[in-house]
Amino acid sequence: MPTIDQLKQSRLDKLNKLLQKGINPYPASVKRNQTIAEARIAEEKEVIITGRIIGLRGHGKLIFGDIVDETGKIQIVFKKDLLSETTFSLVELIDRGDFLEISGKVSKTVSGEITIFINDFRIITKTLQPLPDNWYGFKDVEERYRKRYLDIILNPEVHKRITMRGKIIQEIRNFLTKENFIEVETPTLQPIYGGGFAKPFKTFYNALETDFYLRISDEMYLKRLIVGGFEKVFEITKVFRNEGYDFDHNPEFTMFEAQIAYQDYRYGMDLIEKIIENVAVSILGSTKFNYQETKMDVKRPWTRLTMVDAIKKHTGINPLKWESVKDAKSSIDKLEIRKEKIHELNRINSIGELIAFVFEEKVEEKLINPTIIYDYPIEISPLAKKCADPHFTQRFEMFAFGSELGNNYTELNDPIDLRKRFVDEKKREEGGFEEAHQTDYDYLEAIEHGFPPTCGIAIGIDRLVMLLTDAKSIKDIIAFPTLRPLIRK
């Protein structure tokens, strides 16, 4: 079997032969009258198509091939008696992977396959690197993600998922536009990062001689727009969190966030359900589908549980009976916590954080079907308005396949209360919590000018796409997932 270098040299030799014949294998413009999908229904008509050759077979006076474009695949035939001698001689200079412009008549072969019988063609891109022979010749998972362009060529499912991702995002936009939302843009580089618990990516702004951060959220700026008089705003954008990656985490990901004035988190729950239900019906034709062999249904209304009730349901423990941190930890010790999480458990010194810890460790992974969990402890919700029970806040998250799909709440619009929350967050940071929310004095000043009752909602686009495309890993639905750079010698 020839080596990659030998195959590349063979292609270079063919390229040189084309150049010697005065043929430009990289023309600036081409002629294309039909897509392949259109050509397939143009039986007994002349067509001109373009596409990539993915297969060649036969020899002598009759050579068959397969050509693809974004719309599909069709068989082609190079027949010597249909081409000039000069043109037919160029067939031997074609390699799998090359792009061609093809003219010919669409007919069926004896076996009934729709085929273009070529009467003229041009090589419009000569490839220098060979394509992997087939999927089984390109099965290393990391190589697939690293050379995504090849993965898309060889695996139609990847192309389909990326296409569906675009359609899902567009459907969210369409729905919100009909609901009179305004799409806005907020800063990617921020002097103070906020809107979530995360480690940021830090950079230095030379002209201003100060540190800036890639946003971990756009929430704090969307809320400034509400202060400014907007009532329904949203943004679909990239956010960045300097953390590890696994099946449902990527340090660069896409987030939808919206702020709605004069509404609370109950409205937010309804709106989230409507958005996702609408997207599923528009993209899949139904609210019902399978995810990793599990039946799903995003039809409203979803199951809704308070965080405390979810813990009671799945562990049998009632956190409302905990009278102290010591009492809570004694109860948690019976749950067989993972060894790598013991250190985190030991440093927690509030009941609210312990409630959240139990939920994340023992409940979250069990939330397979679409579920809304609400009323989160105040200790982990610095930007959310309090419930009637001041130990909890009007915050909710959506879950499916054991993963969180988005964080939402009735916004805290009391600047005095928020200032106290920021002080508490600073204490958590000093106590070793590296992802504590930062104190944003400019935002505090903004809401002192008046921040009306407001609901904030968010959807992790990547995880929603995973759910609706039956993707096991977040890397499968990101065109170019984050990978460790290769060191080239």
Q: 89-126: per-residue pLDDT in tens?
A: 999 999 999 999 999 999 999 999 999 999 999 999 99
Residue 303's H or E segment, with its range, is strand 303-306
Q: What is the pLDDT of residue 363?
A: 97
- Are the beta carbons of 446 and 221 closer than 8 angstroms? no
Q: What is the pLDDT of residue 310?
A: 98
**Mean pLDDT over residues 199-218, rounded?**
96
Q: What is the pLDDT of residue 59?
A: 83
Q: Tell me the percentage of the chain whose pLDDT exceeds 70.
A: 99
- pLDDT at residue 237 tops 80: yes
**Mean pLDDT over residues 334-359, rounded?**
93
Q: What is the pLDDT of residue 136?
A: 47
- pLDDT at residue 258 tops 90: yes
Q: At what angle do helices 156-178 and 265-284 cross, to 10 degrees?
A: 130
**Mean pLDDT over residues 188-199, rounded?**
91
- Are the beta carbons of 223 and 266 closer than 8 angstroms? no
Q: Where are the alpha helices (DSSP H) in 90-215?
A: 141-146, 148-154, 156-178
Q: What is the pLDDT of residue 4?
A: 86
Distance set, CA 412 to CA 201, 317, 452, 454 (Å):
26, 30, 10, 8
Q: What is the total residue count of the chain?
A: 489
Per-residue pLDDT band at 222 (split at 50, 70, 90): very high
- pLDDT at residue 134 tops 70: no
Handedness of CA 246, 249, 253, 256 (dihedral sign): positive
What phi and psi values does residue 79 have, to the nearest 5 degrees? -115, 125
- pLDDT at residue 161 tops 50: yes
**Mean pLDDT over residues 213-231, rounded?**
97
- Residue 454 neighbours by CB under 8 Å, 6+ apart: 223, 226, 259, 260, 261, 262, 263, 410, 411, 413
pLDDT, the chain, mean: 94
- pLDDT at residue 453 tops 90: yes
Hey, what's the torsion of the CAs at 226, 229, 232, 235, to 10 degrees?
-60
Q: What is the pLDDT of residue 426?
A: 83
- Residue 7 neighbours by CB under 8 Å, 6+ apart: 130
Measure the CA–CA gap between 303 and 363, rounded to whole angstroms: 14
Q: What is the pLDDT of residue 37?
A: 98
- Residue 363 neighbours by CB under 8 Å, 6+ apart: 310, 311, 314, 315
- pLDDT at residue 263 tops 50: yes
- pLDDT at residue 18 tops 90: yes
- pLDDT at residue 135 tops 50: no
Per-residue pLDDT band at 144 (split at 50, 70, 90): confident
- pLDDT at residue 489 tops 70: no
Q: Which domains does the chain have, with CATH numbers?
A: 4-131 (2.40.50.140), 154-302+370-476 (3.30.930.10)
